[in-house]
């Protein structure tokens, strides 16, 4: 019955979607099938609220778990075996499953937890655990039962079609399936924060595009390559990411030449938001996303964020706004972007950096300083000159 390896995939938050649940389940199933489409002869389908995935036995288990657990919407994954809905067969399959485990690991104690998801099955959940546990104990004589702190806890889940036996519940990232919550454009620097912000919005079901600003030749091509590497790491979770690359240097030079030095960073940031909105509107993205964290730097004070947002009509999402920097760094390490982000290549925000940037700007004063610039033409030229790069997982 087990000619393929079997994986139970749990959907977490998707299960709470009420009338919309079938839509979310369909998209999640498509996403899981998508990450497995490079393998032949795989099966994925829903069964009583669980997704059951079957793949050929010659495919590495760790590889399959890694791919599935990175799909947004997946709460956990369990390698499992099937057994018929017969208590004797369930006991034998569980004992065999346990024998395989004790040959690989030093296991002395165990516990069996039964679940009767199919209420037509004549034996109730606690009794399933007791009967199956007795069979394991009789077969695996080196083991003893410990119901409080077992070395190994086995799960026996009796469903409508068959019974699933498993041990581990490998945690996924949860969230919502990609593509169920529109599309947004992230302002992607080479730092730690913006990749994490993109990840967190994608985890909520949003498809992500990116815009990156550089100041070549003041910034190195390696700085742009770092951002492409960050997008490639994120693409492992969300598929191909389209990135728009903008040379911001002409705008920065105009600002430095015509505007007060202490306002340079904030004025540049306002242009970045305008350009990002221009790209987003053209591509029908619904909102902008930034990695800003309240109070982290001068351009991220409450006053500065108000001044920055005043130049765009589109909603600006800041998923990191109230997070501590250490928490953001921990998340970057977890998703695999941290080591790329800390590579020492400067981005455009470090060019023409004022010694004493304004931290409590007044909108009226900023607008007055900006009035000497041909804002519309500068923005239009930047949007028109965007280089487009499609970045895939590596």
Q: Which of 290, 270, 274 is nearest to 184 (CA)?
A: 290
CA–CA separation, 342 and 195 (whole Å): 12
Q: What is the DSSP string of 324-356?
A: -HHHHHHHHHHHT-HHHHTSS---GGGTT--SS
For the entire predicted model, the pTM comes to 0.92
CA–CA separation, 163 and 110 (whole Å): 20
| Tens of pLDDT, residues 9-28 | 999 888 778 888 999 999 99
Q: What is the DSSP string of 214-249?
A: E-TTTS-HHHHHHHHHHHHHHHHHHS-EEEEEEE-H
Burial class (CB in 10 A: 0-12, 13-18, 19+), 329: middle
Q: Is residue 309 within 8 Å of 301, Cβ to Cβ?
A: no
pLDDT along the chain (394 residues), means of 10: 85 84 94 94 92 96 96 97 96 96 95 96 97 96 95 96 95 95 96 97 98 90 94 96 96 95 94 98 97 89 95 97 96 97 82 83 96 97 96 91
CA–CA separation, 311 and 270 (whole Å): 7
CA–CA separation, 8 and 68 (whole Å): 10
Position 130 scores a pLDDT of 97
Q: What is the mean pLDDT of the chain?
A: 94
Q: Is residue 389 within 8 Å of 245, Cβ to Cβ?
A: yes
Q: Which of 318, 239, 337 is nearest to 27 (CA)?
A: 239
Position 1 scores a pLDDT of 47
Q: Give the number of residues written for the chain.
A: 394
CA–CA separation, 286 and 174 (whole Å): 23
CA–CA separation, 285 and 210 (whole Å): 11
């Amino acid at each position: 019955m087990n000619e393929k390896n079997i994986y139970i995939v749990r959907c977490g938050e998707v299960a709470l979607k009420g009338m919309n649940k079938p839509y979310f389940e369909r998209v999640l199933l498509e996403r899981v099938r998508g990450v497995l489409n490079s393998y032949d002869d795989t099966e994925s389908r829903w069964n009583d609220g669980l997704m059951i995935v079957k793949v050929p036995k010659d495919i590495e288990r760790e590889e399959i778990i890694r791919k599935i657990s990175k799909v947004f919407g997946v709460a956990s994954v369990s390698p499992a075996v099937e057994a018929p809905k017969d208590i004797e067969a369930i006991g034998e399959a569980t004992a065999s499953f346990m024998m395989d485990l004790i040959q690989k690991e030093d296991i002395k104690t165990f516990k069996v937890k039964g679940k009767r998801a199919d209420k037509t099955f004549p034996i109730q959940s606690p009794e399933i655990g007791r009967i199956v546990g007795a069979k394991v104990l009789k077969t695996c004589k080196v083991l003893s039962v410990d119901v409080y702190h077992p070395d190994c806890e086995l799960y026996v889940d009796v469903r409508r079609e068959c019974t699933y036996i498993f041990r581990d519940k490998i945690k996924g990232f949860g969230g919502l399936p990609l593509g169920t919550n529109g599309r947004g454009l992230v302002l992607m620097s080479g730092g730690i924060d913006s990749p994490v912000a993109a990840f967190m919005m994608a985890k909520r079901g949003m498809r992500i595009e990116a815009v990156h600003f550089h100041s070549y030749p003041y910034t190195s091509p390696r700085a742009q390559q770092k951002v492409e590497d960050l997008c490639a790491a994120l693409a492992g979770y969300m598929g191909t990411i389209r990135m728009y690359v903008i040379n911001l240097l002409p705008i920065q030079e105009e600002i430095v030449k015509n505007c007060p030095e202490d306002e340079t960073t904030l004025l540049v940031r306002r242009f970045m938001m305008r350009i990002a909105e221009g790209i987003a509107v053209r591509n029908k993205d619904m909102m902008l996303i930034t990695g800003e964290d309240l109070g982290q730097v001068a351009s991220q004070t409450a006053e500065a964020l108000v001044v920055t947002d005043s130049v765009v009509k589109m909603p600006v999402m800041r998923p990191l706004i109230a997070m501590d920097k250490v928490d953001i760094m921990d998340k970057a390490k977890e998703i695999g972007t941290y080591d790329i982000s800390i590579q020492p290549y400067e981005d455009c925000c470090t060019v023409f950096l004022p010694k004493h940037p304004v931290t409590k700007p007044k909108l009226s004063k900023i607008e007055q300083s900006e009035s000497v610039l041909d804002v519309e033409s500068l923005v239009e030229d930047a949007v028109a000159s965007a280089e487009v790069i499609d970045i895939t997982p590596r």
